[in-house]
Amino acid sequence: MSNMRTKLGFAGGLLIIILSLSIAALAFDPIPVSEYKKWPNNWGKWGPDDEIGTLNYNTPQSLVAAAKLVKKGKIIPCSWECKPNSYPLWGMRVGIRRYMNWSGNDAVMADKPGMWYSDEVITVGTHSMSHVDPLVHLWYGDKVYNGYPVKDVIFHDKGTVKANANAYIAHAAQRGVLLDMARFKGVDYLGDKYLITPKDLDDCAKKQGVEIKPGDAVLIRTGFMKHWSDKIIKSGGVLRWGATTDGEPGPGGDCIAWIQDKKIGLIGADNIAVEHIVPVEEKWNKIYKVGLIPLHVAVLQMLGVPMQELLDLDALAEDCAKDGVYEFLYVWPPLNFWNATGGLISPVAIK
């Protein structure tokens, strides 16, 4: 038995060495920063330690100006209500789950009256309800936003230690602009495959009489969330939205330069990934060397523009259509989770 243990121990050690060498042999060579710089990017623009990207366009003066947009004292929620099996999610992500400590029936079934309390445990993925993507949420190669080596940024035990969602907290208020693309096109929903172009965005802004300014939070309403939520609820929660089969309307690759030129501070939408998904834009996938969602590489990793997803912009759209005002103070602080790679938000537009 002792010899058997010795043999297994030696074999196990040898196997670990072989696997380690194999992994090392398969690892790709580090990509020079100069290669990433061939793409439009803002790496280094705000210094070597920057974690908030284009939110740097906002200043104390621009925030004061945004606060002056509040004219009627109305707060409009822009987060999607998180209920089980009632809205679309990416891939195998799951929505909210709740575990209550007691119910009202527990209290009234007790032997005698007393003091009770309600408490709960809620589990939800940080990208499974209204949220903001940190600048290191998605990347190509071995470096994330600003050139940080990904191996020094994201860990199993510590989470995301650089440019995480927490970095946004002190910068989560700015001028917001709604681009109601669905209403502009005269529809409730743009359709699963609709590709939003820079001309669409400019024409919509012009029609609404609103100007895009540096540092703005640009929110795009497509009608996706309500359309798909209604379908999922009608199916009894059985229906699943498919990213590569169903797709979603959103900005395409031609909007990358638009986002850069306009100096957008933040971009968000009432859909899963902000961007158009299918039919795949092969041109942009090839340029950014990915098979899907190239805007995430271009916008998050390269330009450092925060992206907000799974928003509910319907009530805001109704209010803007009534008063003709498509600008507002937008406030969206993420929950202060430790080193979070997804920032759960309950944003509000204040008019």
pLDDT (tens place) for every residue of the chain, 351 residues total: 444 444 445 555 545 554 444 444 567 888 999 999 999 999 999 999 999 999 999 999 999 999 999 999 999 999 999 999 999 998 888 888 999 999 999 999 999 999 999 999 999 999 999 999 999 999 999 999 999 999 999 999 999 999 999 999 999 999 999 999 999 999 999 999 999 999 999 999 999 999 999 999 999 999 999 999 999 999 999 999 999 999 999 999 999 999 999 999 999 999 999 999 999 999 999 999 999 999 999 999 999 999 999 999 999 999 999 999 999 999 999 999 999 999 999 999 999
Whose structure tokens read 């797709």?
A: 247
- What's the pTM value of the predicted model, to 2 decimals? 0.91
* Paired tokens of 66: 């945004």
Instruction: List the one residue out of 341, 325, 311 whose CA is nearest residue 223.
Output: 311
Helix (H) or strand (E) holding 133: strand 131-133
Regarding beta strands 327-331 and 173-180, do their DSSP bridges make them parallel or antiparallel, or are they unpaired?
antiparallel
Helix axes 198-208, 255-262, angle to 10 degrees: 50
CB 166 within 8 A of CB 336: yes
User: Residue 339 in 3-state DSSP?
Assistant: coil
42-91+129-350 CATH choice from 3.50.30.50, 3.90.1150.10, 3.30.413.10, 3.40.50.920: 3.50.30.50
Instruction: List the one residue out of 130, 166, 157, 103 whose CA is nearest residue 311.
Output: 130
Residue ranges of the domains in the chain?
42-91+129-350
DSSP letter for 55, please.
G
